[in-house]
Structure 1
Amino acid sequence: MGPALPFEILSNIAVYVDPKKNLACALVCKQWTEPFLNKRWCSITVTLEVAKYICNTRSQNNVYLKNLHRTLELKLMNIPKADMKYLSKVQQIYCKINWFEYDRPYRSDCIIQEIDWSPWKSLVHLSIPLCNRSLTASEDFFTKLSVLSCLTHLTLKEAVTQQSLEETIVVSWQDIELLHLNLPRLTYIDIRLRIKAIPAIDANKIRRITPAHAITNIRYGSDYIDAFW
C-alpha cells in the first residue's frame, strides 16, 4: 500500500515522522525516496564546521551540495566575524532559500551588521538578533534589509550578552517605522526586545504617519508597553 500512495500524501506524512528516521524511510522504496529526502534536507543548521565542509568539500562527495535543491530553510549558528568569508560562500550556494534564522550569538561577535542581504532576495521569513543600540546603526541596518522585497515575516531578538553590564537593546517607535518604510510587504512582526516608552510629544507625529496596511500581526515580547503603543 505504501508505494502506491501519491507523492503529496507521502510528503505530508514525512512532516510528522521523527527527523532521525527520514533517511530510513527514504530507503524503503523508490516512491518514498523523494518525499522523505525533501523533508530531511528542507531545513539545515549551519555551524562554522558545516560551513567549512560545504565550501571546501568537492561536490561529488558533498552531501549538502547533492541535496542543495531540497533546502529551503537555513539556521546559522556560531560563525565568528573572522570567518565571514564562509558565510558569503554559503549565501551564494544557498541563494534560493526562503527562510533564514540567525541563532542568538554573543553581541561582541555578532555578524548581522556585516551580512550582505542581496543574495537572499527570495527570503520570506527572517529571524535575526539586533546587536547595536545605536539608532543610526539601526537605520543603516534596516536600509540594508530593504533589498528583501519578498519578506513578509520578521522576528527581531537580542544577541546574548557576555557581561551583565552590557546595556539592553531598546526598540523605539521610530525603529518600527523604519521597518515599515524599508519592508513594505511585511505582514507579521515579532519584536522580542525591550520597548521604549513613547513620549507624549510624539503622539501627534505618529497620528500623521501613513498606516502600514499590510501588517496583520505584531507581537511584542516586552514586559511593559505604555498606552501610546
Structure 2
Amino acid sequence: MATKLPRNILQYLATYFERQERGNCGLVCKQWKEPPLSTYWAKLVIDNTTIFTIIDEFRIKEACTKDAYRAWTLDINLGKYYPEYISLLQPTGLALESIFNKLSKLICLVHLTIYQMSSIEHGQNIFMTDIESLHRNLSHMHYIKIDASLQSIPEEEMERTRNVKSANKIKIIHFIYDNIGLLWISYFAHKYLNLVSFNVTPLKILG
C-alpha cells in the first residue's frame, strides 16, 4: 500500500512529523524517502524568536536565502508573541499590510493560519481592507484561517463588496465572527468563487 500513495499525500503526511524524524521515513520503503525530505521547509511556525524575521526587512531576505521561501504552510501567532506590533500600527491601517507585504517573499506559500489576534486588547478586528491586502500580497493562497473577529462593513461600502476582485485560487477559508452581517456574506460571495469549504465560527463558541 505504501508504494501506491501519491507523492502529494506523502508530503502532506510528512508535515506532521518532527523534522529529525522525516529521514526515518525512508526505512519504510524507498518511495517514502524523498517526499518527506522535500518537506523540510514545508511548514514554518512563527513564534517569539522568529517573529522578527517577518518585521525586519534584512532578516526576511536572509531567511529566504536559506530556503525558507520554499515553505508552503505558515502558522503565525501575532496576538501571543508580538501584540505590540499590531497594536502600534493598527490605527494607521498598516499592521497587516506590512506583515502581508513581507510574507509575499515566501513565494511558495499557499496555506496561512493566523492565531489569537482576537486576544489583542486594541485593534483585534479584521477589516475588509485587511482581507483585500492579504490577497493583494499573497495572491497564490489556497487556504486561509484567521482567528480574529470580523469588523462590520459600513453600509456605504455595499457597492464595493460587489466589485471586489475575485480570489479564484482560494479553496478553503475559516474566519471567526461576532456578528457576520449581510455585507460580509456579500463580500465572501463575490470574492471567493471557487470555494470547496467555507467555515465561520461564532466568537462566543471560542470563549
Tell me whether the two structures share a fold, i.e. TM-score over 0.5. Answer: yes
How many Å apart are 1:227 and its aligned residue?
Answer: 1.2
Residue 206 of structure 1 aligns to a residue in which SS?
helix
CA distance in structure 2 between the aligned counterparts of 1:72 and 1:13, rounded to whole angstroms: 12
Per-residue Cα deviation, 1:56-111 (whole angstroms, up to 9, x for no partner): xxxxxxxxxxxxxx543333434167898988755433345333434426656469
CA distance in structure 2 between the aligned counterparts of 1:22 and 1:154, rounded to whole angstroms: 22
2:66 maps to what in 1? 93
How many Å apart are 1:226 and its aligned residue?
Answer: 0.8
CA distance in structure 2 between the aligned counterparts of 1:210 and 1:160, rounded to whole angstroms: 27
Q: TM-score, normalising length from structure 1?
A: 0.52
Is the alpha carbon distance of 1:80 and 1:95 closer, same or farther for their aligned partners in structure 2, counting shifts above 3 Å? Answer: closer
Code of the residue aligned with 1:211 in structure 2: it is: S
2:116 maps to what in 1? 158
Code of the residue aligned with 2:147 in structure 1: it is: R
CA distance in structure 1 between the aligned counterparts of 2:104 and 2:6, rounded to whole angstroms: 38
Is the alpha carbon distance of 1:37 and 1:105 closer, same or farther for their aligned partners in structure 2, counting shifts above 3 Å? Answer: farther
1:210 maps to what in 2? 165
Aligned residues: 174
Q: Which one of 103, 123, 126 corresponds to residue 145 of structure 1?
A: 103
Is residue 168–residue 194 contact of structure 1 (8 Å, CA) maintained in 2? no
Is residue 70–residue 109 contact of structure 2 (8 Å, CA) maintained in 1? no
Is residue 190–residue 220 contact of structure 1 (8 Å, CA) maintained in 2? yes
Say yes or no: does 1:35 pair with 2:5.
no
Is the alpha carbon distance of 1:8 and 1:91 closer, same or farther for their aligned partners in structure 2, counting shifts above 3 Å? Answer: farther
Q: Which one of 87, 90, 94 corresponds to residue 136 of structure 1?
A: 94
* Percent identity of paired positions between Structure 1 and Structure 2: 22
Residue 218 of structure 1 aligns to a residue in which SS?
strand
**Rg larger for:** 1
In terms of fraction of residues, the more helix-rich structure is 2
CA distance in structure 2 between the aligned counterparts of 1:144 and 1:75, rounded to whole angstroms: 15
Is the alpha carbon distance of 1:222 and 1:35 closer, same or farther for their aligned partners in structure 2, counting shifts above 3 Å? Answer: same
1:57 maps to what in 2? none
CA RMSD across the alignment: 4.4
Code of the residue aligned with 1:97 in structure 2: it is: R
Say yes or no: does 1:181 pair with 2:145.
no
Is the alpha carbon distance of 1:6 and 1:110 closer, same or farther for their aligned partners in structure 2, counting shifts above 3 Å? Answer: same
Is residue 70–residue 108 contact of structure 2 (8 Å, CA) maintained in 1? no
How many Å apart are 1:218 and its aligned residue?
Answer: 2.7
Is the alpha carbon distance of 1:152 and 1:26 closer, same or farther for their aligned partners in structure 2, counting shifts above 3 Å? Answer: closer
- Structure 1: 5+ residue runs without aligned partners? 44-69, 114-129
